[in-house]
Amino acid sequence: MAKDKKSGKKSSSPTPFSEALRADPGTDLASIDPRSTPGFDGDKDAGKVALDALTEPVSELQERLFAESRAGGTRSILLVVQGMDTSGKGGIMRHAVGAVDPQGVQITSFKAPSTEEQKHPFLWRIRNALPTPGMIGVFDRSHYEDVLIVRVHDLVPKAQWSRRYGQINTFEQGVVDQDTTIIKVMLHISKDEQKARLAERLDRPDKYWKFNPGDIDERERWDDYQQAYQAIIDKCSTDAAPWYVVPADRKWFARLAVMNLLHEHLQQLDPQWPEADFDVAEQQARLEKS
Amino acid sequence: MAKDKKSGKKSSSPTPFSEALRADPGTDLASIDPRSTPGFDGDKDAGKVALDALTEPVSELQERLFAESRAGGTRSILLVVQGMDTSGKGGIMRHAVGAVDPQGVQITSFKAPSTEEQKHPFLWRIRNALPTPGMIGVFDRSHYEDVLIVRVHDLVPKAQWSRRYGQINTFEQGVVDQDTTIIKVMLHISKDEQKARLAERLDRPDKYWKFNPGDIDERERWDDYQQAYQAIIDKCSTDAAPWYVVPADRKWFARLAVMNLLHEHLQQLDPQWPEADFDVAEQQARLEKS
């Protein structure tokens, strides 16, 4: 809405989040302020009100998408969530995705690949977790780890990981061709904010379980990770499946932004309630007698 | 709480839902009023307030259970939900289970078995869907369909389905022995209430997709189904895994009751935040320097 004010447009048609947050190739990650709130000019309280107000419309659209699939529809949504440790992936799952009917959502958390998974190409386990028709699939980490942590630590030779960008683009194009809308979100936090969040995990006994000494080892490679994130934006933000960079130092904004991205994409799909495939009056008469 | 009034006890210690709703063998299903609200003497508005008030304590207990598993804990919960068509299984998923962090919940909906599933013993697909440590598994329908619809329609010979009650008890005992707490809920509605709910699906174009003419065929076997439900209470309500009959003509009560059953069982498990398995001060010093 800030943009609208500057251009003098009425705030009744604010910039959609999918426009304000879209990161095309060449977008400079370092130039995006992790505390900014693009697409929204309210404060934290206004943000929470706006998030709550989205629950009902998103829920109805999700149910329509699900209903459509029961009548043979093939469309689905895949929300991919990436971000540094403590960037708030869990909060997105709980407070944004968690507002949607759990029957319509499939969350998959990708950890380090198991021995079984390592025997297969890196996209194998991803393909197995794609959403079925009518569903909203959510990936907590994803195939992008195979060009993030894998690149930073050279877990496979460079020749191998550098080919993966193209393989990912081909794969995602295929997924989109199968009627799945892909929404890729990078939760963008600052190094200072990560420090504060790790410190909290070390201050509170109810947060110890979320901390791992390895988190600090990864933190020490901060710049390498930022380069690796820059690379996925430059190489894998496509028209078929663009990346959205969500400033995430303010948790409330990140949740609001992801929920809006979901809402805007569902609106664009505009799923409709299926027609009855039976004679309504006939069934009403049968029911009456039963 | 009604019971407490009669006995003159203070309402400050109301009857737990797990006591008020427990259906031991011999409990006569037909004698339970589907509009009653055992364990709760408030009205619909009070019920909604009470349900909302449970979200936070259930969420914390769920997170503790999950955290415990990260430190090697093996405990989990399995909530089994059964009931006639329109008894409100979907509403339980959405409004009770849906209040819990989706990262801690695994919902499995059991439909008619696939060709692949039919090649295996009936408990095979159930075993594959059991909750992993720290998780709350939820079954929307379950292995009990194999002694409900299968019995009513004699989909396998009687000699075969009649052996299943014992097989189920053995199976469930094994699951409990693996540290999974089983909560089995039967949503108990009246035939009249089902008629009203089916009529609504035929009245509203946004509900057509939930209706199937076969639903009326099943309704015509109402008494057979009630007998089959009576049989699972008589034969499969065990100390290891008792059945709870939840009167479900009032949707708000059914949701409140299931959420309370979950809460009471989590309270009994009383999961604790794990101790740090690292030196906190040492990690704080490392973080400070990073």
Helix (H), strand (E), coil (C) string for chain B: CHHHHHHCCCCCCCCCHHHHCEECCCCCHHHCCCCCCCCCCCCHHHHHHHHHHHHHHHHHHHHHHHHHHHCCCCCEEEEEEEECCCCCHHHHHHHHHHHCCHHHEEEEECCCCCHHHHCCCCCHHHHCCCCCCCCEEEEECCHHHHHCHHHHCCCCCHHHHHHHHHHHHHHHHHHHHCCEEEEEEEEECCHHHHHHHHHHHHHCCCCHHHCCCHHHHHHCCHHHHHHHHHHHHHHHCCCCCCEEEEECCCHHHHHHHHHHHHHHHHHHHCCCCCCCCCCHHHHHHHHHHC
As a whole number of angstroms, the distance between CA B243 and CA B241 comes to: 7
Residues of chain A with pLDDT > 70, as a percent, come to 96
In angstroms and rounded to an integer, the radius of gyration of the C-alpha atoms of chain A is: 21
As a whole number of angstroms, the distance between CA B235 and CA B170 comes to: 12
Instruction: Give the residue with greater pLDDT, B2 vs B193.
Output: B193
Q: Which of B142, B130, B139, B140 is nearest to B178 (CA)?
A: B130
The yes-or-no verdict on residue B246 having pLDDT over 70 is yes
The yes-or-no verdict on residue A253 having pLDDT over 50 is yes
Tell me the mean pLDDT in the region B184-192: 98
Q: For residue range A108-144, list pLDDT tens digits in order.
A: 999 999 999 999 999 999 999 999 999 999 999 999 9
Give the Å distances, CA to CA, from B50 to A52, B40, B43, B268: 20, 10, 10, 20
- What pLDDT score was predicted for residue A14? 81
For chain A, the residues whose C-beta falls within 8 A of a C-beta of chain B are: 67, 70-71, 90, 93-94, 97-98, 101-103, 105, 107, 109, 140, 195, 198-199, 202, 205-206, 208-209, 211-213, 216, 219-220, 273-276, 278, 280, 283-284, 286-287, 290
Q: Indicate yes or no: CB of A94 within 8 angstroms of CB of B103.
A: yes
Residues of chain B with pLDDT > 70, as a percent, come to 96
Chain A CA closest to residue B99: A98
Task: Give B98's contacts in chain A (Cβ within 8 Å).
Answer: 98, 101-102
Among the CATH numbers 3.30.530.20, 3.30.70.100, 3.40.50.300, 3.30.70.20, which is that of A2-272? Answer: 3.40.50.300
Q: Indicate yes or no: CB of B199 within 8 angstroms of CB of A287.
A: yes
As a whole number of angstroms, the distance between CA B163 and CA B171 comes to: 13
Q: For residue range A262-281, list pLDDT tens digits in order.
A: 999 999 999 999 999 999 99
Average pLDDT, chain A: 94
Average pLDDT, chain B: 94
- What pLDDT score was predicted for residue A6? 45
- What pLDDT score was predicted for residue B268? 98
Task: Indicate the helix (H) or strand (E) that contains A239.
Answer: none
Q: Which two tokens stand for residue A263?
A: 């809402």
For residues A217-242, b (16+ Cβ closer than 10 Å) or e, as one string?
Answer: ebbeeeeebeebbbbbbbbbbbeebb
**Please, which pLDDT band fits residue B13 given cuts at 50, 70 and 90?**
low
Please, what CATH class does the domain formed by B24-45+60-270 belong to?
A: alpha beta
Inter-chain contacts counted by CB atoms under 8 A, chains A and B:
106
* A261 contacts A244 by C-beta, under 8 angstroms: yes
Q: Which two tokens stand for residue B236?
A: 């499969």
Q: Indicate yes or no: CB of B103 within 8 angstroms of CB of A140.
A: yes
**Please, which pLDDT band fits residue A94 given cuts at 50, 70 and 90?**
very high
**Please, which pLDDT band fits residue B224 given cuts at 50, 70 and 90?**
very high
- What pLDDT score was predicted for residue B14? 81
The yes-or-no verdict on residue B67 having pLDDT over 80 is yes
Q: For residue range A148-193, list pLDDT tens digits in order.
A: 999 999 999 999 999 999 999 999 999 999 999 999 999 999 999 9
Indicate the pairing of strand A76-83 with strand A136-140: parallel
Strand partners, B247: B188
Q: Which two tokens stand for residue A265?
A: 């994409």
Q: Indicate yes or no: CB of A101 within 8 angstroms of CB of B97.
A: no
Q: For residue range B128-158, list pLDDT tens digits in order.
A: 999 999 999 999 999 999 999 999 999 999 9
- What pLDDT score was predicted for residue A3? 43
Task: Give B107's contacts in chain A (Cβ within 8 Å).
Answer: 102-103
Task: Give A103's contacts in chain B (Cβ within 8 Å).
Answer: 90, 93-94, 107, 109, 140
Quick one: residue A187, left, alpha or beta (phi over 0 = left, psi -120 to 50 = alpha)? beta
Tell me the mean pLDDT in the region A218-228: 98
Q: Distance from B52 to chain A by nearest Cα, in Å?
A: 14
Q: What is the largest CA-CA distance in chain B?
A: 73
- What pLDDT score was predicted for residue A143? 98
**Please, which pLDDT band fits residue B9 given cuts at 50, 70 and 90?**
very low
Domain boundaries, chain B: 24-45+60-270
Tell me the mean pLDDT in the region A187-201: 98
Give the Å distances, CA to CA, from A267 to A61, A182, A253, A261, B141: 7, 14, 21, 10, 32
- What pLDDT score was predicted for residue B3? 42
For chain B, the residues whose C-beta falls within 8 A of a C-beta of chain A are: 67, 70-71, 90, 93-94, 97-98, 101-103, 105, 107, 109, 140, 195, 198-199, 202, 205-206, 208-209, 211-213, 216, 219-220, 273-276, 278, 280, 283-284, 286-287, 290
The yes-or-no verdict on residue A4 having pLDDT over 70 is no
ipTM given for this complex:
0.90
Long-range contacts of A34-38 (CB under 8 A, 24+ apart): A34/A188, A34/A189, A34/A190, A34/A193, A34/A247, A34/A248, A34/A249, A35/A190, A35/A247, A35/A249, A35/A250, A36/A247, A37/A247, A37/A250, A37/A253, A38/A2, A38/A247
**Please, which pLDDT band fits residue A7 given cuts at 50, 70 and 90?**
very low
Task: Give A67's contacts in chain B (Cβ within 8 Å).
Answer: 206, 209
Residue of B140, B195, B284 lying closest to A287 (CB–CB)? B195
Residue of A103, A220, A276 lying closest to B90 (CB–CB)? A103
Tell me the mean pLDDT in the region B14-29: 96
**Please, which pLDDT band fits residue B4 given cuts at 50, 70 and 90?**
very low
The yes-or-no verdict on residue A290 having pLDDT over 60 is yes
Q: Indicate yes or no: CB of B283 within 8 angstroms of CB of A97.
A: no
Q: Indicate yes or no: CB of A205 within 8 angstroms of CB of B273.
A: yes
Tell me the mean pLDDT in the region A242-246: 98
Q: Indicate yes or no: CB of A208 within 8 angstroms of CB of B102.
A: no
Chain B CA closest to residue A64: B206
Residues of chain A with pLDDT > 90, as a percent, come to 95
Side-chain half-sphere exposure of A108, counting CA atoms within 13 A: 20
The yes-or-no verdict on residue A44 having pLDDT over 80 is yes
Chain B CA closest to residue A198: B287
* Mutation target vs B (from A287, A288, A289; most B CBs, 10 A cutoff): A287
Indicate the pairing of strand A105-109 with strand A22-23: unpaired
Task: Give B280's contacts in chain A (Cβ within 8 Å).
Answer: 202, 208
